[in-house]
Amino acid sequence: MLKASYIITLLSGIGLFNSCTANFINVTDIEKHYKVIERKDSIYGNYLAGRVAHLRQDYDKAGLYYVKSIKKGLVNQDILGKTYIILASKGEIKEAVKYANIARLNGDKNNFIDVINAVYEFKTGNYKLSRSILSKINEKTYENLVTPMFNAWSYVGENDYDNAMKSLLPLKDEEEMVTIYNLHSGLIAEYFNKSDVAKEHYKTIIKDRSEDISFRALQIITNYMVRHNQKTEAEQLVNKYYGTNNIKEMLSSLNKKIKEGISSKYLIVDSADKGVAEVFLEIALLFKSVPVGYDYAQMYMAISEYFNPNNDVLKIAMADLFEERLQYTEANKYYDTVKKDSEMYYPSQIKKSNNLIAEEKYDEAIIVLKSLLKENPSNFQVLFNLGDVLRISNNQDDAIKYYNKAIDTIFYESEKYWPVYYALAVSYDKNNQWLKAEESLNKALTLSNRHPQVLNYLGYSWLKNNMNIDKAALFILEAYEKSPNNGVIMDSLGWVYFKTGDYKNAIIYLERASELNPRNAIISEHLGDAYWLGGRKNEAIFLWKQALILKEDKEEVNLKNIRYKIKNGLTETKVLSLKDESIKEALRDVNYITQ
């Protein structure tokens, strides 16, 4: 695994976005002052529309409007830079090259212009010219990483094995690049039917990465093994990672293909184009492993897709980038292209359902998950996810059913299963089955080693129902100690003070909770209650009105009660008493905020 510091060094060497991200003005300001959508098809109207789309990371519209602006006469380094970067990020390399070269004539010195020119020439079969163009980039990042792999596959395109292998040698001397060196050396050796050479490179990867190997490397190596009558060894290699890996479904599907001999029917990388696609995917995945590299990752993924649009590992990675930007519909377009016989089909469908949930398209998510369940009715993760979407959509009876089915598939209890007991408890609680909820919460508490989220839910529930007051306070204090910057837990602590009549401290902690979770309806109502009994009645009414419109936890508040409080104020509430002196002392000692 590459170190983050090494990847950041790569970022500093590839000046990719200097011409497209600087000095953006606020999108709201643009729309407010220019009413972009309503403007006619003018130069600046198109430019401003492009800026709005660009800020929203809607690259399709941004590219369209920028190109329109240029065609109408707005030609400068800034808009040209934005245009070719966006076109390249969409995989429209031929168009990107066109505007990149105009940008170069206008003084743009961005290295990425040479990259996409080299990519275009490679794609059209001008391998020697593509190498010549890339060699113009005099930076260590290219010399030590990009250029060796790119050149190697360009020599493959020229059917030159010796120079292809020789081009990869600089990677061999880089400790961080040894696995990539061996993987591409193996692929090139396979392409030229030098199976013994490929075998040695793959054996080195297995040995060096015994605890950490990428799924793509597993696909490639097991593909080689099956085609060379090593089916048993291939199964053993996959099984080595099955027990501890979080991609079990992918590994299971891969194992099935191995047993059926499906993977022996084709060579994964059977052309120079597919080889160089792996190069750009490798680079993209390096950048994707650190948040600051996401934009770079998309650029290189688009180039990889340009050379090989049928790589499902790439599709998953590209979709993941869209998810990071909350562009769930775009992500699902990629998931929908993953075929049923792919190892990536299961994770793509799970992630698709998660995206549909994020978009509140619950019925569609349920359809996706139930379709997966037909193929594997005892799949824990699908059952668990079905329970989640049903709970979120307030179908608690069915949620409880699927959570219990998920629990029935568990062969041994371990810490990783506490969330399903916790989720089941939430559904029981919402379904007015508190005793069952309490039982499930206690199970989750044991399995999770007293996770603060579980401690808080139990403590707050007891407090809400005016029961087990001392134990409730104790649990909430423990949760707060474990997670002091969690807004929900902070709210519960404030509510302990409120329920025991200490309105001064209640206000302190509820204000802090509101700062941490400003969109939470329950916290807003609680703070309003504390303000009212603390003598700050105008502020209380304001907070109650906020609670009516806030979205987070809106289903937990009683709107009728809040409207009553806005009109009539808060009547006296029952003050609860703590019996345990040590808990009272702990509540006094926790007041670090006031010190």
Q: What are the residue boundaries of the structural domains of the chain, listed by start?
A: 17-110, 141-309, 331-435, 450-594
Note whether 17-110 and 141-309 share their fold: yes
**Whole-number Å distance between alpha carbons of 88 and 95:** 8
Residues 382-441 pLDDT 10s: 999 999 999 999 999 999 999 999 999 988 888 889 999 999 999 999 999 999 999 999
Contact assessment for residue 338 and residue 350, using Cβ atoms and an 8 Å cutoff: no
**Which pLDDT does position 174 carry in this prediction?**
77
State which fold the 17-110 domain adopts. Answer: 1.25.40
Identity at 136, one-letter amino acid code:
K
Note the pLDDT of residue 99.
Answer: 82
- Mean pLDDT value across residues 573-582: 83
Average pLDDT for the chain: 83
Using DSSP, state whether 89 is helix, strand or coil. helix
Predicted TM-score (pTM) of this structure? 0.78
Q: What is the pLDDT of residues 500-542, one digit of tens each?
A: 999 999 999 999 999 999 999 999 999 999 999 999 999 999 9
What CATH number does the domain located at 141-309 have? 1.25.40
Express each pLDDT in 291-314 by its tens digit.
667 778 888 899 999 999 999 989
Region of poorest pLDDT, from 4-8, 49-53, 64-68, 546-550: 4-8
Q: Under a CB-based contact definition with an 8 Å cutoff, are residues 418 and 451 in contact?
A: yes
Residue 404 buriedness (CB in 10 A; 0-12 / 13-18 / 19+): middle
Alpha helices, H only, 209-291: 215-227, 231-242, 248-260, 272-288
Distance CA 361, CA 393 (A): 9
pLDDT at position 81: 73
- What pLDDT, in 10s, does the model give residues 69-100? 677 666 666 767 777 888 888 888 988 888 88
Q: Which CATH class is domain 450-594?
A: mainly alpha
Residue located via tokens 């379904």: 431
Q: Grade residue 50 by pLDDT with cuts at 50, 70 and 90.
A: low
* Per-residue pLDDT at 57 exceeds 80: no
Contacts of 220 (CB under 8 A, 6+ apart): 183, 186, 187, 202, 268, 269
> Within 10 Å of residue 117's Cβ, how many Cβ atoms?
21
Q: Name the least confident of 16-30, 47-61, 237-251, 457-471.
A: 16-30
pLDDT of residue 95: 86
Query: What DSSP state is assigned to residue 26?
Result: P
CATH 3.20.20.150 describes domain 331-435: no
The whole-number average pLDDT for the span 361-378 is 92
